[in-house]
Structure formats: structure tokens, C-alpha cells
Amino acid sequence: MKVYISADIEGITGTTTWSETELNAPDYQFFQQQMTREVEAAIEGAIAGGATEILLKDAHDSARNLDISNLPINCKVIRGWTYDPMCMVAGLDQSFDRAIFIGYHSKGGSERNPLSHTLCTYADVKINGEYASEFLINTYAAALHGVPVSFVSGDVGLTEEIHAVNENIVTFATKEGIGNATISVSPKLTIMETKRLVASSMKVPRQHIQVPLPERFMVEIIYRDHTRAYRNSFYPNATFKPHNTVEFVTDDFYEVLRILQFLT
Ligand SMILES: [Zn+2]
């Protein structure tokens, strides 16, 4: 069984402020180590649940956060950005059986995590009228290849969103955001539960967790800066929507990934 793992940091246990997520910042070291431990727990759980081959994507900022020294021999890792539209799930294709997202976070526009955002911090993204999370975008990206997401860890706001999308996707909540603060569980609990829950999520039948792709996508990219919205509205088939939004309609989710790759 082939498993794909995408790892971010803003949903890792304890992360609360941006300097804790930035490569080489003085506050970063513990959180980079905790991200590594949570990913290692997911890998152990996946292997315990039957994974024979794992592709891991470091998917935060520099994409060079994880300490890879303890990766098992059946695991490959993508560091850095490929710059193709699959982005945070680069390399995921129909050969995989399941995907797992570690350290994911609430969507841009959400009050549920002080580090909430979607893909960038200068714009929010809506799909079909609702603010969209990186979870939703990457779950649809996986669905393009027929691959379901079986486990996600991140903040409580995200786990509630996931259960509204599909209640069979297994989740673990690492923390809750309140204003500019977080209440986190013990980092040890996250590691223990990630390992256990990833292993059990491998047994959930694929058809129970496969999220269907909508037939049509109305994408709105809502910028903080209206001049950026105007400039980016010249993307092919995009339109400017006053006063700070680019709108784009398609029935092909790969075109959604393409516009997000260029405009966020
Ligand atoms: Zn991130």
C-alpha cells in the first residue's frame, strides 16, 4: 500500500506565532522538532496500518523544515517546491492508496487559529461561495487522482470543518485557537494519538472517505491589496470583482490549482 503524507506546521502542537514557523528564526527549533516527531508518528502509524511505500512532502514555507535523519528506508521525501500546480501535494498520483495531512490549519478568514491562512497571507480563497482551507484544496487535488485522505491532524477549527465534509476521515486536534492565543494538548499526546489513529485510519474503506469533486468551481481570491487584485485579474478567463477580488469559473479542478499556483 502506497501512502502520501503532506506536512505543514501551523497545525503542529503548540505553534502560535509566525516566528515559530520560520526557518532559522530563534523561536523555530522546538516547533521544527515537534513537526518532525508528529510526521515520524504518522509514518510509524501508516507502516503499522499496512503502508509499504511512503512519499512525504515537506509543505511549509521553505519546504525544508523536517529533520529527515530517521526516515525509514521505504520512505522518500520531497523538500523544496516543485512549482507545479499540485503544490503541497506534489508527486501525488493515482498510484497512491491514501493521503495523510499532518499539522494542517484553519482556513484564511477563520478565527479558529492565530496562524489561519490559505496558501498565502495576503489573500483569502473562496470556492463556491465558502472560504476554502488548504485541507479542502489538497483533498480535491488528491480526488483528481482518485486518492482519498484518511487522516488529518491540526487545530480544532479544522477538525470540525473536516467532519462537516466527511465524518469518516479520522482527525486529531492538536490545539484550539482563541484570539492570538492557543490551548494545546501535550506534544506527547499528539505523537501517541497520531501513531494510533493513522494506523486505524488505514482500515477505513476507501469509498467511505473519498470526497467527491464538485462539478463546477467558482473561485474568488480576495486580496488585502486591491491593486494586486486588479493586476491579477488579467489572468486568462479571470475577472476583476470590485474592490479587491479576482473571480474565476471552471469545471476542471486542475485549472483551480493552476490559478492558485499563479495568483496566491
Ligand atoms: Zn504552512
Residues 191 and 248 occupy one common structural domain? no
Instruction: Write the pLDDT tens digit of every residue in 117-158.
Output: 999 999 999 999 999 999 999 999 999 999 999 999 999 999
Structure confidence at residue 10 as a pLDDT band (50, 70, 90)? very high
> Measured in angstroms, how far is the CA atom of residue 36 from the centroid of ligand 1?
14
> What pLDDT does 187 receive?
98
Same domain, 255 and 187: no
Task: Give residue 80's pLDDT band: very low, low, confident or very high (50, 70, 90).
Answer: very high
Q: Per the domain annotation, does 125 fall within a domain?
A: no
- pLDDT the model gives residue 120: 93
Confidence of residue 170 (pLDDT cuts 50, 70, 90): very high
Identify the pLDDT of residue 178.
97
Cα of 117 from ligand 1 centre, angstroms: 8
Where does residue 193 fall: left (phi above 0), alpha (psi -120 to 50 degrees), or beta otherwise? Answer: alpha
* Cα–Cα distance for residue pair 65/21, rounded to 1 Å: 9
Look at residue 253 in the predicted model and tell me its pLDDT.
Answer: 98
pLDDT reported for residue 84: 96
Q: Say yes or no: 17 and 95 in one domain.
A: yes
71 and 151 both lie in a single domain: yes
Region 62-81: mean pLDDT is: 98
Question: Are residues 22 and 76 part of one domain?
Answer: yes
- Give the CATH number of the domain where residue 59 resides: 3.40.50.10780
Using only the alpha carbons of the chain, give its radius of gyration.
Answer: 17
Distance 123 CA to ligand 1 centre (A): 14
CA of 155 to the centre of ligand 1 (A): 13
Any domain includes 37: yes
Q: Enter the pTM of the model.
A: 0.97
Q: How far is the CA of 33 from the CAs of 27, 37, 38, 125, in angstroms?
A: 12, 6, 9, 30
pLDDT, position 85: 97
237 in any annotated domain: yes
Can you read off the three cell numbers belonging to residue 9? 506546521
Domain, as residue range, for 259: 217-263
> Is position 124 within any domain?
no
Based on the number of CB atoms within 10 Å of its own CB, is 231 exposed (0-12), middle (13-18) or buried (19 or more)?
middle
Is residue 127 assigned to a domain? no
Distance 60 CA to ligand 1 centre (A): 4
Q: Are residues 169 and 235 in the same domain?
A: no
Residue 170 lies in a domain: yes
Query: Could you say which of 191, 209, 227 is where a domain stops?
Result: 209
Instruction: Say whether both 255 and 146 belong to one domain.
Output: no
Average pLDDT of the residues in 188-203: 98
Write down the pLDDT at residue 125.
97
Give the Cα separation of 89 and 132 in Å (integer): 16
Domains held by the chain: number: 2
| Whether residue 114 is found in the same domain as residue 44 | yes
First vs last C-alpha separation in the chain:
34
> Of 190, 209, 228, at which residue does a domain stop?
209
Query: How many CB atoms lie under 10 A from the CB of residue 108?
Result: 22
> Do 229 and 114 share a domain, yes or no?
no
What's the pLDDT band for 200 if we cut at 50, 70, 90?
very high
pLDDT of 239 reads 98
pLDDT band at 106 (very low <50, low <70, confident <90, very high): very high
Mean pLDDT of the chain: 97
Q: What is the mean pLDDT of residues 106-124?
A: 95
